[in-house]
A and B are shown apart, each in its own frame.
Chain A
Amino acid sequence: MSKASATAKQAKVVAPKEGSILDRGYTPYQGRYTPEASRWQVIASRMLRMSARQWWAILIMVATVIPLLVSAVQMWIMSKLFAMAPPGVAVTSPDTYMMLPWGTMTLAFLIALFAGAGQVADDTRAGAFQFYFARPVTRDQYLVGKVMPVVVMTMFIALLPALLLSLLRLALLPSGAEVVKKLPLVGATIIIGTVEALVLAIPRWRSRRCRGGARTCRAATRSCICCRGSSAPSFPR
């Protein structure tokens, strides 16, 4: 028998069966562990990444960016070619309030609705509470981790375009002294944008009376996860 055919035969003998469980080695973990308090960040960043892949998220992001670009170009043309002051540059001007959350209210509402509504409901349906709470993750960390992506995404829609437009308005002002004078515009934008984002994001997590009795749940889940210690089951069976 030739050497090549012997090798081929040996390979045939040891070839693993498709789909069978095989020992491909196991190495004990000896590395470091992250602080327990940071687990909400893991949940939040994962949720953010998962949401950002969805078609509706991409669509809403695009719908947010296009009007921003159009508005910015329009403002630049008006300022450079026709020497007109950018609209809404005065904090007290009604234009400011019209322009700050410029057309983003509906989009921010939609993203809060899409991103927020299914987060906990999906976990309930998939039995994922067992996945989360069998690990060193507290209920508070879970809830913060689920709320934060909705807040971040809503702020991206409600705050970021308004902030960029405000900065552009300041940039188009003729003198530095005038820019300093108009700086409160940025603060007003941040406050209004943040309030708008929170108003839209937080109601996704409305309170609901707990099945356990007097306490109040912070998540609108079918199975109450906030009543540990009471007589009611705190964990979906």
Chain B
Amino acid sequence: MTAATLLEFSDVHKRYGAHHALRGLSLSVPAGTVGLLGPNGAGKSTLMKVLLGLLPFDGTAAVLGHDVRAQPSQIRARVGYMPERDCHLVGMSAVELCGYAAELSGLPPSEAMQRAHMVLEFVGLGDKRYQRIDGYSTGQKQRVKLAQALVHDPKLLLLDEPTNGLDPQGRDEMLTLVKSLPARTGCSIVLSSHLLHDVEKVCERAILLHEGKIVYSGTIEALRKEGQKDVYELRVKDGEDRLQKALEQKGLRVEREGLMLVVQLHNNVLRAHNIDDARPTDLLFAVAAAEDVQVRHLAPRRLTLENAFVRAVNEAKAS
């Protein structure tokens, strides 16, 4: 494990009775901003708790170079955790909660209180810091959760669904703040979300989880590229069905999205028809001309993260 490795886990399993929540996860993640993506129940929150040493598990895992089983205290001292559910203590104000969190993380009382004031200002709750948290709005509670995770100056922030319950404006502000954290605090971020937009906005890398398995791990850019390689969008004037049939007869995979045809060009198909790899669309034009169909639009497919995610999940299911 190198110094720049953020997380490293090998053959991690976690069961809740009969439910197998994590199924043999193995991965090494470098420092930076990492999105943990997956539908509800994919195992994102469980993985976060496993990394913090809060849940027993099978396999080996290390965070920031520390073994999760042998050195949980060292990990927790360097990691800030923003849980998905509310975690405020009854009857406390925001400044008390953050000060308490800092003291529990090992800061002396006076420094803890200074940091509590600073992080609450930092997340935009400076003027509400003396109010009891019980009376806060959902957005304010989310900010308090972020503040308590940041208060001891962690090296890694684990954010579990940080935009839960926020309105669009609040969500945007939260994501902007989270995105700026690595540059301003020097920490790495693991952001768990089922909202692809959140991860796309904040993270450089993504780990896609589905039913407790990793279906993709790497940069978001690579995920998009991987999904869109040799895939073209084709729109024609009438004759979509005819053209689809003709293309499929040539051995190409064609999917319909409304009036759009999405065609995947395989190298072996191109070679079979003596088409130059550098000009793969020649085959499409040739088939369209043969079928007497007018091409209105032909362009490489630009995959959104949603498409890429669905594709990765479908591929995992198929395999």
Max count, chain B CB within 10 A of own CB: residue among A128, A131, A135, A136: A135
Q: How far, in whole Å, are A39 and B100 apart by their CA atoms in the complex?
A: 11
B81 interfacial by beta-carbon distance below 8 Å: yes
**Pairwise interchain contact A136-B77, C-beta atoms closer than 8 A:** yes
A42: nearest chain-B partner, CB-CB: B103
Question: Which of the residues A126, A130, A132 comes within 8 Å of B104, measured between beta carbons?
Answer: A132
Q: How far, in whole Å, are A34 and B108 apart by their CA atoms in the complex?
A: 6
B106: nearest chain-A partner, CB-CB: A33
Q: How far, in whole Å, are A128 and B74 apart by their CA atoms in the complex?
A: 21
**Pairwise interchain contact A24-B122, C-beta atoms closer than 8 A:** yes
Inter-chain contacts of A55 with B (CB < 8 A): none
**Pairwise interchain contact B87-A130, C-beta atoms closer than 8 A:** yes
Convert A124-167 into 0s and 1s, putting 1 for each residue whose CB lies closer than 8 angstroms to a CB of B.
01111011111111100000000000000000000000000000
Interface residues on A, range: 35 or more
Convert B103-139 into 0s and 1s, putting 1 for each residue whose CB lies closer than 8 angstroms to a CB of A.
1111110010001001101111010000000000001
Identify the stretch in A100-108, A216-224, A229-237 within 8 Å (CB) of chain B at 4 or more residues: A229-237
**Pairwise interchain contact A43-B104, C-beta atoms closer than 8 A:** yes
**Pairwise interchain contact A36-B124, C-beta atoms closer than 8 A:** no
Q: How far, in whole Å, are A205 and B76 apart by their CA atoms in the complex?
A: 27
Given contacts A28-B185, A28-B186, A50-B91, contact A134 B54 (CB under 8 A): yes
Inter-chain contacts of B52 with A (CB < 8 A): 133-134
Question: Which of the residues B89, B124, B152, B177 comes within 8 Å of A131, measured between beta carbons?
Answer: B89
B88 interfacial by beta-carbon distance below 8 Å: yes
Q: How far, in whole Å, are A235 and B54 apart by their CA atoms in the complex?
A: 6
**Pairwise interchain contact A131-B148, C-beta atoms closer than 8 A:** yes
Q: Which residues of A contact B (CB under 8 A)?
A: 19-29, 31-34, 36, 39, 42-43, 46, 50, 53, 122-123, 125-128, 130-138, 228-231, 233-235, 237
**Pairwise interchain contact B107-A23, C-beta atoms closer than 8 A:** no
Q: How far, in whole Å, are A21 and B185 apart by their CA atoms in the complex?
A: 16
B56 interfacial by beta-carbon distance below 8 Å: yes
Inter-chain contacts of A33 with B (CB < 8 A): 77, 106-107
Inter-chain contacts of B176 with A (CB < 8 A): 21
Q: How far, in whole Å, are A26 and B176 apart by their CA atoms in the complex?
A: 15
Question: Which of the residues B15, B121, B148 comes within 8 Å of A24, measured between beta carbons?
Answer: B121
**Pairwise interchain contact A22-B124, C-beta atoms closer than 8 A:** yes
Inter-chain contacts of B49 with A (CB < 8 A): 235
Query: What are 22 inter-chain pairs, A to B, with CB distance below 8 A?
Result: A21-B177, A24-B122, A25-B118, A25-B121, A25-B122, A29-B115, A31-B107, A32-B108, A33-B107, A34-B106, A36-B73, A50-B92, A53-B91, A122-B89, A126-B86, A126-B88, A130-B83, A135-B77, A137-B76, A229-B56, A234-B56, A237-B16
Q: How far, in whole Å, are A109 and B74 apart by their CA atoms in the complex?
A: 40
Inter-chain contacts of B106 with A (CB < 8 A): 33-34, 36, 39, 136
**Pairwise interchain contact B126-A128, C-beta atoms closer than 8 A:** no
Return A93 CB to nearest CB of chain B, in Å: 46
**Pairwise interchain contact A122-B90, C-beta atoms closer than 8 A:** yes
**Pairwise interchain contact B56-A135, C-beta atoms closer than 8 A:** no
**Pairwise interchain contact B111-A31, C-beta atoms closer than 8 A:** yes
A137: nearest chain-B partner, CB-CB: B104
B175: nearest chain-A partner, CB-CB: A21
B173 interfacial by beta-carbon distance below 8 Å: yes
Inter-chain contacts of A28 with B (CB < 8 A): 153, 185-186
Known: A33-B106, A130-B81, A136-B73. 11 other contacts (CB 8 A): A20-B173, A21-B124, A21-B173, A21-B177, A25-B121, A26-B185, A33-B107, A34-B106, A50-B92, A133-B52, A230-B56
Q: How far, in whole Å, are A95 and B89 apart by their CA atoms in the complex?
A: 46
Q: How far, in whole Å, are A34 and B105 apart by their CA atoms in the complex?
A: 9
**Pairwise interchain contact B54-A133, C-beta atoms closer than 8 A:** yes
**Pairwise interchain contact B83-A19, C-beta atoms closer than 8 A:** no
B17: nearest chain-A partner, CB-CB: A231
**Pairwise interchain contact A135-B90, C-beta atoms closer than 8 A:** no
Given contacts A126-B90, A130-B85, contact A23 B103 (CB under 8 A): no
**Pairwise interchain contact A128-B87, C-beta atoms closer than 8 A:** yes
Return B49 CB to nearest CB of chain A, in Å: 6
B184 interfacial by beta-carbon distance below 8 Å: yes
Convert B132-175 into 0s and 1s, putting 1 for each residue whose CB lies closer than 8 angstroms to a CB of A.
00000001000100001000110000000000000000000110
Return B63 CB to nearest CB of chain A, in Å: 12
Return B37 CB to nearest CB of chain A, in Å: 20
